[in-house]
Amino acid sequence: MNVVEVKDLTYAYTEEKIVLNGVSFSLEEGKYYCLVGHNGSGKSTLAKCLMGLVLRFEGSISLFGIPLSGKTLREIRSHVGIVFQNPDNQFVGSTVADDIAFGLENKRVPHEQMQGIIESFAEKTGMIEHLNHEPSALSGGQKQRVAIAGVLAMGPDLVILDEATSMLDPKGKNEILNLIHSLRKENPKLTILSITHDVEEATRADEIIVFNKGKIILKGKPEEVFVHREELASIQLGLPFFYQLRFALEEQGMQIPPSVKDLESLEAYLCR
Amino acid sequence: MSIRFEDVTYVYNPKTPEPVEALHNISLEIEEGSFTALIGRTGCGKSTLVQHLNALLHPTSGTVFIDTFVNASQKKKRDKKLKPLREKVGLVFQFPEYQLFEETIEKDVAFGPKNFGDSDEVALEKAHEALQLVGLDESFYKRSPFEISGGEKRRVALAGVLAMKPKYLVVDEPTAGLDPLGAKKLMELFTKIHEAGSTIILVTHDMDLVLGYCTDVFVLDHGKVALKGKPNDLFGQDVSRFSLQTPAIFDFAFRLEKAGYKIDKNKLNRVEDLAKAIVEGRR
């Protein structure tokens, strides 16, 4: 079953300003998707539609086989967790434990169970030693890990990361990406949709969806997408370091076989 | 003329039970005409240092000289007239797009020049010039700064500082959150401003930018200057002890060197340089 099914999605803020223009795609269970596009490409609006924050769209969206509408929103949201961009704007608790508890309290999880759930997800996200810390004592990366812990504690089947790493420094960014990968190993059914313009992150995705002017222009595995060099450059997206280097080497006259897909295999090829 | 720190110490919450020393006896000189990077882990004192450059903060002890302007502690004699300094040093904070406030983009950008005494017409002229410089054409002038994309907002905010034609432009993490080409264009814009004679001071976590664009670099660690020099010299050594990443180009060059490649790291600034070095290093 497809976790997300979007058909002919169109949305306009005003009559002239069409931000989504007939978008169709589906997401399969257990895969890690990166939705990439430049600032202003419409990817954030798409995210808002998927989260049900914007309901007056044309076309259809279904999640877990349930068509998205005002009536089904509650049911659908119980399956979906979202991590937003700004680490400071989504920290609602006074301590790490309080923050993770927020969703659980809303869900009326009995207090006796709650403690165990909080600890287990704080453990998974590496925040167990900070349970009683206030947000001011945490780095941006740590705050985002708490946000992820709070989302996971609700037991979602789909996690949407809306530029969740873009305000973090490189260290914080890596913390989050490594966390995502360890969570996927633990729960192979978890589907992840990461909205990002970090092309390095996208090299680790199962599939990349490239967005421009409210439309999907490329879709496929990283090695299928990043060979479209001119197209990506024309829409403001650069290439990951490996592909930049690969093209630069080819311009120097070096032949690189298609089996070389990342820096590790390039190193092995060059040092053979 | 230059920016000079002499034994500068800065303490947050002095005379309280928990004073925090953010800068400790810093002495450094940022040369006029340079493109200088300030780097170091979160909390190393970069932002505190930068706020001394246009006297948002005054040293607890020691002196900062910005050309002839003297920024020192209250006890010492320091210059009181801040306007000329603020005109000379343009400070662009992190995520400056959150500071936009005017009805239209041109008014927002013209705010600075007007504050420094320009007439409405002159201020608008300067605003238009600055907007052109950051790549926003006439169609943007009358629009609201709140209905454009995040990357465009960032450029409007930057134009607001550029409109004052600062001699020293200080930018704190200017590319954070921008798409890759947006970031590249912004860095090229700084290069253009640098070539036109301004001094650029860049605070960043992105070591690839330091390697690709800067002429000088200072590494701060625990409120002190830990290292200074040229980017290519700096990254030739192990920088992980300062929680700094090695730029992707150097990282890959090191890996190849271990396998016997000979790579001249003095000329390694762009991906193309690395590709050339690899092809030559094979022979």
Q: Which of A38, A170, A248 is nearest residue B275 as measured by Cβ atoms?
A: A248
Closest Cα in chain A to B250 = A241
Partners of A167 on chain B (C-beta within 8 Å) are 95, 176-177
User: Cβ of B133: how many Cβ atoms within 10 Å?
Assistant: 17
pLDDT of residue B257: 92
pLDDT at A6: 96
User: What's the half-sphere exposure (Cβ side, CA atoms, 13 Å) at A183?
Assistant: 30
Q: Which of residues 69-128 of A touch B (CB under 8 A)?
A: 85
Asked if A23 has any chain B CB less than 8 Å from its own CB, the reply is: no
Mapped onto helix, strand or coil, the DSSP state of residue B254 is helix
Beta strand ranges found along chain B (DSSP E): 2-12, 20-31, 35-39, 61-66, 69-72, 89-92, 168-172, 199-203, 216-221, 224-229
Burial bucket for residue A144 (CB in 10 Å: 0-12, 13-18, 19+): buried
- Which of B70, B75, B86, B81 is closest to B6 using CA atoms? B70
In the predicted model, is pLDDT for residue A16 greater than 80? no
Q: Per-residue pLDDT tens for B151-190? A: 889 999 999 999 999 999 999 999 987 877 788 889 999 9
Out of A139, A169, A238, closest to residue B181 by CB: A238
Interface contact B260, partner A, CB < 8 A? yes
CB-closest option in B180, B261, B278 to A238: B180
Average pLDDT, chain B: 92
pLDDT in tens, A134-184: 888 788 888 888 999 999 899 899 999 998 888 777 878 888 888 888 889
Other Cβ atoms within 10 Å of A121 Cβ, number = 23
Every domain of chain A and the residues it spans: 2-238, 240-272
Cβ–Cβ below 8 Å for B260 and A163:
no
Residue type, B40: G
Tokens describing residue B193: 């401003």
| Percent of chain A topping pLDDT 70 | 100
Q: How close B244 comes to chain A (CA, Å)? A: 9
From first CA to last CA, the distance across chain A in angstroms is 44
The fourth-level CATH superfamily of domain A2-238 is P-loop containing nucleotide triphosphate hydrolases (3.40.50.300)
Per-residue model confidence as pLDDT tens digits over B197-228: 999 999 998 999 999 999 999 999 999 999 99
**Which candidate, A92, A94, A152, places its Cα nearest to that of A122?**
A152
What letter would DSSP give residue A63? E
Q: Is the pLDDT of residue B62 over 90?
A: yes
Q: Which residues of B touch A238 (CB under 8 A)?
A: 180-181, 184
Residue B34 has pLDDT above 80, yes or no: yes
Q: What is the pLDDT of residues A213-226, one digit of tens each?
A: 899 999 999 999 99
What average pLDDT does this structure show over B227-235?
A: 95
What is the domain class of B2-246 according to CATH?
Answer: alpha beta
* Under 8 Å between Cβ of B214 and B206: no
Q: What is the dihedral of CA A244, A247, A252, A253, to 10 degrees?
A: 160
The Cα–Cα gap between A186 and A152 comes to 12
Over residues A189-210, the pLDDT tens digits come to: 999 999 998 889 999 999 999 9
Task: Express as a percent the part of chain B with pLDDT over 70.
Answer: 100
The Cα of B270 is separated from the nearest Cα of chain A by a number of Å equal to 10
Residue B39 structure tokens: 């780097």
Amino acid B43: pLDDT: 78
pLDDT (average), residues A94-115: 90
CB within 8 Å of A229: residues ≥ 6 apart: A239, A243, A247
Interface predicted TM-score (ipTM): 0.79
Interchain pair A167, B248: CB under 8 A: no
Of B217, B230, B226, B203, residue with least CA distance to B26: B226
H helix intervals, chain A: 43-50, 73-77, 96-106, 111-124, 140-152, 170-186, 199-202, 222-225, 229-234, 241-251, 263-270
- Residue B258: what are its φ and ψ, rounded to 5°? -60, -30
pLDDT for B67 beyond 90: yes
DSSP B282: H
Q: Choosing among B47, B179, B269, which should be mutated to test the A contact, i.e. which has the most A CBs within 10 A?
A: B179
Eight-class DSSP state of A102: H
Q: Do B256 and A267 touch (CB under 8 A)?
A: yes
**pLDDT score of B283 more than 70:** no
| Chain A nearest C-alpha distance from B94 (Å) | 10
The distance of B169 to chain A (nearest Cα, Å) reads 22
**Residues in chain A within 8 Å Cβ distance of B275:** 245, 248-249, 251-252, 254
> Measured between CB atoms, does A1 come within 8 Å of chain B?
no
Residue A47 pLDDT: 87
Residue A199: closest C-alpha in chain B: B180
